[in-house]
Amino acid sequence: MARKKVISLNPKSAVPKYRQIIESVYSAIERKSLKKGDKVPSINQVCAEFNLSRDTVMFAFNELKSKGILKSQPGKGYYIASTEIQLEERVFVLFDELNAFKEDLYNSLINSLKGKATVEVYFHHFNYKVFKNLITESIGNYTSYLIMPATFDNTSHLLSKLPQDKVYIIDRLKPDLEQYPVVYQDFEQDFYDALVEGKEMIQKYRKLVFVNPGGKEPAERSKGFKRFCEENDFRYEIVKSLNGVKPSLWEAYFLISDRDLVEMVKIAKYCKFKLGKKFGIVSFNDTMLKEVVSGGITTISTDFTEMGKTLADMVVTRDKSQIRNKAQMIVRNSL
């Protein structure tokens, strides 16, 4: 009888060889090619077939023994001791940066996976070299990979080194990553929908100004803002910074940067503009602080806590959906 093909290795894969051996045995058990009591190839056979060092194969077999999957019998070799595979769920999370609203996402994810997985979080800070190195170093060490590409485009060649069925994308729907499950924001539509939702309050303003610094910020927001203003005959302006801007009464400012938000609140206070009456401010990405600043700042924000829960559920259930995490306008005194 021909020996069962148990071990399969891909020499081009970046996954370490010892990890491929372990995953091969798990896979054979899952598809019932290996049953309790079945013999597996010997260390010498695996070394010879795949031109591996004895230490590499021994490392893999020892880990399988420590998990109770393999047992050895002196002079006879290795056998399957148990088919009860209990994979320790280890989740690799790669964010762009940590800020107040990202912390809500992080805490929600951690709390939702508590007792179900070990989570390790890293940050690339919009540095592609750091992004690349962290992903490369993570290969084969985790059971799930949650990755926030942020402003990076054309990363599919890098992410393809990871097992496709274990990768989840966070926050942005990237054309070159359409094969992966994702929880994303539709930045253009979210801004447009929020403005439509708040149109009755916005109508009193003669001009709408969107301060979009660009860079790491999604460009799609400008499209949603422009579309709303032109469809509804609002005077509008899109600027990169507050430099040279002289706010006037009956204007509403939409601010991405919290630094710009603080500056605009100070300007309004200096000019004695009463927020929400004849001068409006709207910020992006809600935080607890914005609930109380200047009597409450209106925000346009997705629910980052809900995003964390959704991501955790996808990891646990292996859901492969592409889910939009919608934003809404949270109305407070400043509008």
Q: What is the CATH number of the domain that holds 41?
A: 1.10.10.10
Which one-letter DSSP state was computed for residue 290?
Answer: G
Q: Is it the case that residue 3 has pLDDT exceeding 50?
A: no
Mean residue pLDDT of the chain comes to 92
Tens-place pLDDT, residues 251-260:
999 999 999 9
Mean pLDDT of 262-285: 96
Do 179 and 311 share a structural domain?
yes
Do 205 and 175 share a structural domain?
no
pLDDT > 70: percent of the chain: 98
Q: Count how many domains the chain has.
A: 3
Do 294 and 202 share a structural domain?
yes
Do 265 and 191 share a structural domain?
yes
Mean pLDDT of 150-174: 93
Do 98 and 142 share a structural domain?
yes
Do 95 and 40 share a structural domain?
no
Mean pLDDT of 258-263: 96
Do 67 and 130 share a structural domain?
no
Residue 43 lies in a domain: yes
Q: CB neighbours (10 Å) of residue 171?
A: 24
Name the band, by pLDDT with cuts 50, 70 and 90, for residue 2. very low
Domain range spanning residue 202?
187-302
Q: Among 4-8, 152-156, 269-273, which is the least confidently predicted range?
A: 4-8
Q: Is it the case that residue 76 has pLDDT exceeding 90?
A: no
Name the band, by pLDDT with cuts 50, 70 and 90, for residue 1. very low
Q: Among 22-31, 40-49, 92-101, 125-134, which is the least confidently predicted range?
A: 22-31
Name the band, by pLDDT with cuts 50, 70 and 90, for residue 12. confident
Which residue bears the tokens 């400043």?
A: 334
Residue 158 lies in a domain: yes
Name the band, by pLDDT with cuts 50, 70 and 90, for residue 86. low
Mean pLDDT of 180-188: 97
Which one-letter DSSP state was computed for residue 252?
Answer: E
- b/e per residue 182-221 (b: at least 16 CB within 10 A): bbbbbbbbbbbbbbeebeebbeebeebbbbbeeeebbebb
Do 297 and 309 share a structural domain?
no
Task: Work out whether the CA dihedral 96, 119, 302, 265 comes out positive or negative.
Answer: negative
Whole-number pLDDT of residue 98: 87
Do 289 and 314 share a structural domain?
no
Residue 41 lies in a domain: yes
Q: Is it the case that residue 40 has pLDDT exceeding 50?
A: yes
Do 104 and 49 share a structural domain?
no
Mean pLDDT of 167-190: 96
Residue 261 lies in a domain: yes
Residues 6+ apart with CB under 8 A from 125: 96, 97
Name the band, by pLDDT with cuts 50, 70 and 90, for residue 307. very high
Tens-place pLDDT, residues 134-161:
999 998 788 899 999 999 999 999 999 8
Whole-number pLDDT of residue 97: 92
* Angle (CA) 326 322 152, round 5°: 85
Residue 5 lies in a domain: no
* CB contact at 8 A, 238 and 225: yes
Residue 4 lies in a domain: no
Alpha-carbon gap, residue 115 to 301, rounded angstroms:
29
Residue 205 lies in a domain: yes
Do 210 and 157 share a structural domain?
no
Residues 6+ apart with CB under 8 A from 83: 29, 34, 35, 36
Task: Say what the pTM is.
Answer: 0.77
Residue 335 lies in a domain: no
Residue 275's CATH number: 3.40.50.2300
Do 201 and 280 share a structural domain?
yes
